Amino acid sequence: MAAGALLALAGCTSTLGEVPLQRATVGPSADEIFNARFARGYARLPSFDETNKFRDDLDRRVGEYLAKNPQIATSPRASQFRFERRVDVGMSKPEVTLLLGPPDTTTSDPALMKANAAPFWPEIGRRAQEMWRYPSGWSLYFEGDRLVDLTVKGKYPIE
């Protein structure tokens, strides 16, 4: 019995350092990316006032964008901007940038995108022409101007 427990424990510990790559249809929120960038730059989370300033600025930018794009302002997608503040497959590059800011890195190199998307590349590679990387392990794949896929490394536990 003890040997079986030891083998089970050894099996668990061999995967402790591995972080699974997962595919997603809904991406990170503006707050998540802001917090990750803030922590990376200042080695702490933002204060209440700093977070409120970010949210007020985002509300202003979203309001201006929706005023200039009434077709989106009256669509169900408007809630993605106003309330959820989360990127979603089908958004344009300007919409993603509005919510998340500019990417940390970009590439249109198929070899780099394939290496990043790993097991999901056969599906993602059919449409992906460009990849944007964001903090917290997020990779966003675009076909032309449209977000067509997302992957995240180690964000959500797989049951």
Quick: pLDDT tens for 87-128: 999 999 999 999 999 999 999 999 999 999 999 999 999 999
* 1: CB partners within 8 A, 6+ apart: none
pLDDT over 70 (residue 72): yes
pLDDT over 60 (residue 84): yes
Q: Provide the pLDDT confidence category of residue 4 given band limits of 50, 70 and 90.
A: very low
| pLDDT for the residue 1 | 46
Supply the pTM of this predicted model.
0.84
Quick: pLDDT tens for 21-61: 999 989 999 999 999 999 999 999 999 999 999 999 999 99
Token duo for residue 126: 């059919």
Chain-centre distance for alpha carbon 127: 18
The residue extents of the domains of the chain are 22-153
3 state DSSP class of 89:
coil
**Cβ(142)–Cβ(17) under 8 Å?**
no
Instruction: Give the mean pLDDT of the chain.
Output: 88
pLDDT over 60 (residue 11): no
pLDDT over 50 (residue 12): no
Higher pLDDT, 76 or 42: 42
Q: Rounded to whole angstroms, how far apart are CA atoms 119 and 14?
A: 20
Kind plus residue range of the DSSP H or E element containing 139: strand 138-143
Q: Which residue has the tokens 């992957």?
A: 151
Q: Rounded to whole angstroms, how far apart are CA atoms 125 and 115?
A: 11
Q: Provide the pLDDT confidence category of residue 18 given band limits of 50, 70 and 90.
A: low
Nearest to 131 by CA among 118, 119, 148: 148
3 state DSSP class of 36:
helix
Nearest to 29 by CA among 58, 60, 67: 58
Chain-centre distance for alpha carbon 84: 14
